[in-house]
Amino acid sequence: MVQNIETLPPPAPVRTSSLGHEILFMDTAVRQSSMLATGVRAGVEVILLPTQQDGVEQITQVLRKRRGLTCMHIVAPGGTSSLQLGTTVLSLNTLERYVWDLTVWSNALTANAELLIYTSDLARGVRGEEFVGHLSELIGVKVAASRSKTGNSLLGGNWNLELQTLPCQTLPVFTSETLAAYDALL
């Protein structure tokens, strides 16, 4: 249910992406999600997804009321070809189950929008690449995701989204200070 979604107001617009309206959905199961949520760059709306509800449904409820988004960021736990959003696993095996929801997501995004997903190993291997490609087709936007660990470099991570269905131009969602302070992996 949407009532339980925690919404943080966007920071004061100091520096924004060259693309425009952006939204970040973050699963609260992510380690240090509160710290990450307060460390987004200016102009990005932050929505925290409680872990005890269907995260795909939560995102859909928010996006039903939106239009003209140029970028959607998702930060969530997961692995190769799967993304944990609350009680839901969005994966290569479950994508077709969520076609209606993904259509709502598509309607909220502009034709040139980008979906940036911060999850360790999401795009790793053939199945990961297939998941990202199929998600891009279903939503009709460019998608970027990581082929490696995402997070602190001392733990073997980075914040690069190595696989992009088409080149993405959106700035990273977190400030450089936040990325440097994050001491975990997603």
Q: In 3-state terms, what secondary structure has residue 44? A: strand
pLDDT of residue 20: 53
Question: Is the residue at 120 inside a domain?
Answer: yes
Question: Is the residue at 74 inside a domain?
Answer: yes
Phi/psi-derived region of residue 81, left when phi > 0, alpha when psi is between -120 and 50, beta in every other case: left
Tell me the pLDDT tens digit for each residue of 115-141.
Answer: 999 999 999 999 999 999 999 999 999
**Lowest mean pLDDT: which of 3-7, 63-67, 138-142, 180-184?**
3-7
Please report which confidence band the pLDDT of residue 151 belongs to, taking 50, 70 and 90 as the band edges.
very high
Tell me the pLDDT tens digit for each residue of 31-58.
Answer: 999 999 999 999 999 999 999 999 999 9
Residue 54, CB half-sphere, CA atoms under 13 Å: how many? 9
Tell me the pLDDT tens digit for each residue of 12-31.
Answer: 333 333 335 999 999 999 99
Rounded-to-integer distance, Cα 52 and Cα 73, Å: 20
Which structure tokens are listed for 143? 């998608």
Quick count: other Cβ atoms within 10 Å of Cβ 83?
A: 23
Tell me the pLDDT tens digit for each residue of 103-114.
Answer: 999 999 999 999
Supply the mean pLDDT for the chain. Answer: 90
Which structure tokens are listed for 132? 């990202």
Residue 120 in contact with residue 146, Cβ under 8 Å? Answer: yes
Question: Is the residue at 126 inside a domain?
Answer: yes
pLDDT of residue 13: 33
Number of domains within the chain: 1
Secondary structure E strands in the chain = 6-8, 22-27, 44-49, 69-75, 78-79, 82-85, 88-91, 109-118, 142-145, 163-164
> Which domain covers residue 103, as residue numbers?
2-180
Which structure tokens are listed for 175? 């400030």
For residue 150, give the CATH number of its domain. 3.40.50
Mean pLDDT of 146-175: 96
Question: Is the residue at 185 inside a domain?
Answer: no
Question: Is the residue at 186 inside a domain?
Answer: no
Cβ-proximal residues to 97 (8 Å cutoff; 6+ apart), any chain? none
pLDDT of residue 186: 94
Question: Is the residue at 83 inside a domain?
Answer: yes
